[in-house]
Structure 1
């Protein structure tokens, strides 16, 4: 059984099979990875240069990775403004925030124009405080956005916050209309369908086993080789295992989710009658939204850490944190206490040091490009990633190819076992700190100090 979103999409799908690659082929561009990054890149290349022969290979089926199992929250980079400004300067930070908002709207427009029915709802997002210690946590970034003339948030009265969020647990809130929710499995499978219609040749069940630089580049698989003038690597969390130079560029950590059986009357009663997403101000945030068929999805990041960037079996199993997630759901929504849980799942997220994705040319080559490190927030930014990678593959000179995002990883995590042990130490300190804050108690100083390491690694950014 696949994760809930992807299985739901597959159950409703009547689409073309894409068998594995069985014979050597030649193409202009080979894309490795059939998630949002790879598919958006393929579609944007075809849009700008329809004459090019584009091949996409995917180890499993399109959407089997994070694209088919994420929380479905398409968020902008507004909350990441301070990180963007520190890394790239104010002008580029402003541009990237604006582009991130444009991407969210562009995804909806593309789905509408191409018949992708993925429950896209641009009903905005609500950033909240769910305990007293979180109060005011968003004020500074909102003020900075306002100074730059790019603030889309408004502070809501407490009654409005609790009404829109459907829960009295929230103590303050800022609302932005520049956000959407989607059924992520339907989105990725819809992009796959359109890519096939545009002439992209897709081979599922075809893992890259090695890559050999040259002109052409040779992408080897179990049974055949793809020879391509240019290659785009969009395998995200799997990059750290495929290419040793990136082993310390990301930390692989799970995001875990539960979803209820349909309960539309109850959701309407508590006020969750739109596609708004709600995120609190924890370091590893709680996030939730309803679905068009009357379910409630709730998730939380920062749970299972992988040693050495390995893909653990647990990432393809029901979430081991389901009891904790169910307790949180009941705390936020007592009225839903008797609603059964339909499914739980989790998956690997590639957390970068900055909390932002990065892009570049593999080994300094001019014809192999990569992008990953979305850090648990890829639904909207992967559309930006497609613009970056398609521009690189097409040899364009534009603001995307000149961006600081295209300088490769901007920092490294410590080597193993320090990274793994340190991650567990910090994670557990964060849990103790936030558990104390939920109870109205002062956390231990050591836990507060350790939690700052997560903030320094970009994990305090929302979304």
Structure 2
């Protein structure tokens, strides 16, 4: 296996997959009952759920490259409960959010069982670790409240040497025993034969160049078009390139590294699967299915905002970013000083100003369905979105009304050049990520 994959920006998740031949690009003009733009977790889950409910309807999925090539194949691998940006203050909302996102994890588990490729799905829990005594005390109190509300989180005591948790400088951690890890790229590519068997038409290497609104919607591609009664937009950070949600989404490049595989004994000593810390520029990581340590975040250097909002990061850039991430990783895990970093890659995030995602239906003819803005928390929510959008397409809004993401209006992010300038100034002056609070 090649080392230090900065040259082609291929993630360790993708590198671990068996040979994959993309399906032919769309050529010519076709019609469909429903067209899905995007072959990530949101698009594939939506195709799966809709084909299950409506086996006689023609569903066409268009993916710009290969299934799982975007954020779904470049993420931290954690399948988590909760909605980024939402901190419920009362029991009813906390229970509803937990039930909804737990259903998302259940969907990932069911899709993993159906996948023709082993995606290494595990559900052994993930940690949120706390780096100060004060934040640890507050977290311990929150866990007591959550348990009173019937949520299964547990508090793990720690100390500054990390003896109880396996990380240096940690004062405690919240364990969600129901969370998990997955190679989402393997999951999605392994589901492709199942989608085809369900009658879904999949075209890869088919970027949508323009969306023509109307009844029907017309999706224009390089060599053809799709006329569809309804469209699902499942493109997350790439969505503004379609002329949609241009003022509500900030594409960010998230840089990630992975080490050579660790032994099972070493992982046992670390005592963790997936983890994230409590800092504003969150550091996160976990155990990949092949035994590697994945690590991302930890400072401003872990994220890059491109002028104009392009979700595509230059493949030959980012050396300083990766060096900063590796330094943070070795600070948390000094015992891994002898373990080399073998993979470095970048993936696109879709950030909203308040970090809360949105799922709903829009457009002048109310025939554009969407789920986006996961803000780095999208595996469980993206899988859940397939069920949400299926129900909205079926005009069954009831199960999702009152949840924070349902028809969420995204706060406005300033246009260029103020967007890029504001991001640069704020992050450099504060070391934090700009957001509406």
Same fold (TM over 0.5): yes
Name 1:94's counterpart in structure 2: 95
Runs of 4+ in 1 over 6 A off after TM superposition: none
| Correspondence 1:254 to 2:233 | no
Q: Please say if residues 218 and 225 of structure 2, whose CA atoms lie closer than 8 Å, have aligned partners that are also in contact.
A: yes
How far 1:373 moved relative to its partner?
Answer: 0.3
Whole-Å separation in 1 of the counterparts to 2:131 and 2:403 = 36
Distance 1:241 1:113, change over 3 A: closer
Whole-Å separation in 2 of the counterparts to 1:90 and 1:241 = 39
Name 2:321's counterpart in structure 1: 321
How far 1:424 moved relative to its partner?
Answer: 2.1
| Correspondence 1:51 to 2:56 | yes
How far 1:102 moved relative to its partner?
Answer: 2.3
Whole-Å separation in 2 of the counterparts to 1:169 and 1:107 = 33
Name 1:145's counterpart in structure 2: 146
Give the 3-state SS of the residue equivalent to 1:26 in structure 2.
Answer: strand
How far 1:269 moved relative to its partner?
Answer: 6.0
How far 1:266 moved relative to its partner?
Answer: 6.2
Name 1:374's counterpart in structure 2: 374
How far 1:114 moved relative to its partner?
Answer: 4.2
Whole-Å separation in 2 of the counterparts to 1:351 and 1:314 = 20
Deviations 1:132-183 (A, max 9, x none): 5643353565355345x14321111327993564223211112110210112
Q: Please say if residues 35 and 66 of structure 1, whose CA atoms lie closer than 8 Å, have aligned partners that are also in contact.
A: yes
Equivalence map 1:295-314=2 (5 Å):
295-300=292-297, 303-314=303-314
Deviations 1:65-90 (A, max 9, x none): 101100101111077542x56xxx86
Deviations 1:237-285 (A, max 9, x none): 11123215x222022222221101122156246334x6x2111110121
Give the 3-state SS of the residue equivalent to 2:167 in structure 1.
Answer: coil
Name 1:222's counterpart in structure 2: 222
Q: Please say if residues 357 and 408 of structure 2, whose CA atoms lie closer than 8 Å, have aligned partners that are also in contact.
A: no
Give the 3-state SS of the residue equivalent to 1:94 in structure 2.
Answer: helix
Whole-Å separation in 1 of the counterparts to 2:199 and 2:304 = 39
How far 1:298 moved relative to its partner?
Answer: 0.8
Whole-Å separation in 1 of the counterparts to 2:163 and 2:140 = 21
How far 1:315 moved relative to its partner?
Answer: 6.7
Whole-Å separation in 2 of the counterparts to 1:150 and 1:378 = 24
Give the 3-state SS of the residue equivalent to 2:32 in structure 1.
Answer: strand
Deviations 1:52-110 (A, max 9, x none): 1110001111111101100101111077542x56xxx8645531221102221331133
Name 1:443's counterpart in structure 2: none
Q: CA RMSD in A?
A: 2.7
Equivalence map 1:265-284=2 (5 Å):
267-268=266-267, 270-272=269-271, 276-284=273-281
| Correspondence 1:22 to 2:30 | no
Give the 3-state SS of the residue equivalent to 2:350 in structure 1.
Answer: strand
Name 2:181's counterpart in structure 1: 181
Distance 1:325 1:114, change over 3 A: closer
Name 1:104's counterpart in structure 2: 105
Name 2:4's counterpart in structure 1: none
Q: Please say if residues 9 and 345 of structure 2, whose CA atoms lie closer than 8 Å, have aligned partners that are also in contact.
A: no
Whole-Å separation in 2 of the counterparts to 1:258 and 1:17 = 26
Whole-Å separation in 1 of the counterparts to 2:38 and 2:84 = 28
Q: Please say if residues 42 and 195 of structure 1, whose CA atoms lie closer than 8 Å, have aligned partners that are also in contact.
A: yes
Q: Which among 265, 284, 289 is matched to residue 292 of structure 1? A: 289
Whole-Å separation in 2 of the counterparts to 1:104 and 1:316 = 35
Name 2:158's counterpart in structure 1: 158
Whole-Å separation in 1 of the counterparts to 2:188 and 2:162 = 32
| Correspondence 1:73 to 2:72 | no
How far 1:294 moved relative to its partner?
Answer: 2.0
Distance 1:125 1:282, change over 3 A: same
Stretch of structure 1 that moved more, 283-292 or 42-51: 283-292
Stretch of structure 1 that moved more, 377-386 or 260-269: 260-269
More helix by percentage:
1
Whole-Å separation in 1 of the counterparts to 2:227 and 2:83 = 40
Distance 1:183 1:22, change over 3 A: same
How far 1:418 moved relative to its partner?
Answer: 2.7
| Correspondence 1:3 to 2:10 | yes
Q: Please say if residues 54 and 200 of structure 1, whose CA atoms lie closer than 8 Å, have aligned partners that are also in contact.
A: yes
Name 2:436's counterpart in structure 1: 457
Name 1:445's counterpart in structure 2: none
Whole-Å separation in 2 of the counterparts to 1:392 and 1:409 = 16
Name 1:356's counterpart in structure 2: 356
Distance 1:163 1:369, change over 3 A: same
How far 1:224 moved relative to its partner?
Answer: 0.9
Deviations 1:282-303 (A, max 9, x none): 0121112122322111111652
Name 1:242's counterpart in structure 2: 242
Give the 3-state SS of the residue equivalent to 2:379 in structure 1.
Answer: coil
Q: Please say if residues 86 and 404 of structure 2, whose CA atoms lie closer than 8 Å, have aligned partners that are also in contact.
A: no
Stretch of structure 1 that moved more, 19-28 or 303-312: 303-312
Whole-Å separation in 1 of the counterparts to 2:292 and 2:381 = 25
